[in-house]
Amino acid sequence: MRKIFSFYRRFLETTFVLWLFLSTVGKFGFSFMVDLRLFSRVFFDIFLIYFVWEAINNRATIYSAIKGLFLKVKNEFNLRTETTQKNILSSLPKVLTGKGGRFLVLILAVVVSSFSFLLSFIKILKRFIFHRVILLLFFIFGVFANIFILSFTSDLIILLLIGSLILNIYRYKLKGEFSAAVGFISLTACPFLLIFKKELIAEKVAIWVYVFLAVGIIQILVKYIKEEKKSVPK
């Protein structure tokens, strides 16, 4: 059975690559007589079957992982609540530490612990989202989808991707010459897209040509200004 689903997984991966290829070349008018909507629906059904099978096959591991995570979070939450409650009680006058006061302190400790957990979750999520590899993949696939897959242009999406580009330049220490080179290379694709009468794609590529050139020129100017300041004798 495992051999069958191992082959099934490879078939699923091949189907995904084929769908990506057909979606891309379809923008250039090469449909190959394939209905992409039907193809996408079939791919989704195949993926759903594989996902369910993997979940059933690894249900013990999944249950153990979820249970372990739940117990870990529960114990950490209880520990934080008890510590917060003790700290609050120690700072209050003895008059306010009666039965009613302890109940109110417990509620306050639960609220503070919940807020602390929320901040911890946001920090972990922020660390994951802004990981250099995640940022790079987000930018590459985002630009690819924006140019070849999406049938519309969105200023919000472009702004998000530009922000991702700036973060990638900062994380990977990319030079302005690199950004400008990517812009010039992308510029060479525009005439061919216009020849194939793909005005929308050519327009999107032109936007990214402008973005890369603008970012590259700004980087080069900033670098030049910094070097000039260093060369000025004090």
User: Which of residues 185 and 131 earns the better pLDDT score?
Assistant: 185
**Percent of the chain with pLDDT strictly greater than 70:** 88
Residue 80: band (very low, low, confident or very high) from pLDDT cuts 50, 70, 90: confident
Which of 12, 31, 57 is where one domain is finished?
A: 57
- Convert the pLDDT of each residue in 120-148 to its tens digit: 888 887 887 778 888 888 999 999 888 88
Which of 57, 79, 104 is where one domain is finished?
A: 57
Residue numbers of the domain that contains 185: 132-231
In a domain, 146, yes or no: yes
Are 121 and 106 found together in one domain?
A: yes
Are 115 and 143 found together in one domain?
A: no
Are 140 and 222 found together in one domain?
A: yes
Are 171 and 102 found together in one domain?
A: no
Mean pLDDT, the chain, rounded, equals 82
At residue 234, the pLDDT reads 58
What gap in Å lies between CA 145 and CA 157, rounded to an integer? 10
At residue 205, the pLDDT reads 92
Are 148 and 206 found together in one domain?
A: yes
Give the per-residue SS3 of 86-114: HHHHHHCCHHHCCHHHHHHHHHHHHHHHH
Are 94 and 173 found together in one domain?
A: no
Are 167 and 121 found together in one domain?
A: no
- Tell me the CA distances in angstroms from 94 to 9, 19, 90, 110, 181, one per residue in order: 66, 70, 9, 21, 71
Query: pTM, whole model, 2 decimals?
Result: 0.65
Are 139 and 203 found together in one domain?
A: yes
- Convert the pLDDT of each residue in 147-183 to its tens digit: 887 777 788 889 999 999 998 998 888 889 999 999 9
Greatest distance between any 2 Cα atoms in the chain: 85
Average pLDDT over residues 209-232: 88
User: Which of residues 169 and 108 earns the better pLDDT score?
Assistant: 169
For the chain, what is the domain count? Answer: 3
226 residue type, one letter: K
In a domain, 183, yes or no: yes
Note the residue count of the chain: 234
